[in-house]
A = this chain, B = another copy of it.
């Protein structure tokens, strides 16, 4: 299970970090701002989750996460000239990240405390919060308003994961099925 959480975490962090870099690219910022926006966006959702759960913040103990965000910020900066050509593949990658994060948020909560309602909220908040931070820092209209389908998809992923685990399905298949549900709900609107 630890491996599953880790893989989902790396994917979610990397993809959200790239989306932070894309926003930096649209605002024509310098490379340090790319790295910082990528980092805040990449680790934002998981940081909120860990603070609320009273768990150690995941990236403080393991620098791999920050190095992933730094690499994502630098890579986005080098590719910034591609501009809007990156838009379409990114929406797909973002859907993967959201799906990973929503399941991961619910799964980590259930490993710490057995509260299904809390676990669903954590999944949705984890998937959405990185984007809220990114948009707030960048003074852009918050994503939550224009992206109801985003919230619905994150809710679908977290809710179905918690339901399946409560019905005693093992975590691995439950994570894969609910991740596909979240991704499918989002992909249908791209």
**Which residues from chain A sit less than 8 Å from chain B, CB to CB?**
27, 29-30, 32-33, 36, 39, 47, 51-54, 56-57, 59-61, 63, 66-67, 70, 113, 115, 117-118, 121, 124, 128, 132, 136-139, 141-142, 144-145, 148, 151-152, 155
A141 to B138, CA, bound (A): 8
Q: Are B115 and A67 in contact (CB under 8 A)?
A: no
User: B residues within 8 A CB of A124?
Assistant: 36
User: B residues within 8 A CB of A51?
Assistant: 51-52
Distance of A58 from chain B, by nearest CB (Å): 11
Q: Are A136 and B145 in contact (CB under 8 A)?
A: no
Distance of A186 from chain B, by nearest CB (Å): 14
- Count identical subunits in the complex: 3
A115 to B180, CA, bound (A): 36
The 8 Å CB contact of A145, one of B32, B67, B139, is: B139
User: B residues within 8 A CB of A113?
Assistant: 60-61
User: B residues within 8 A CB of A128?
Assistant: 36
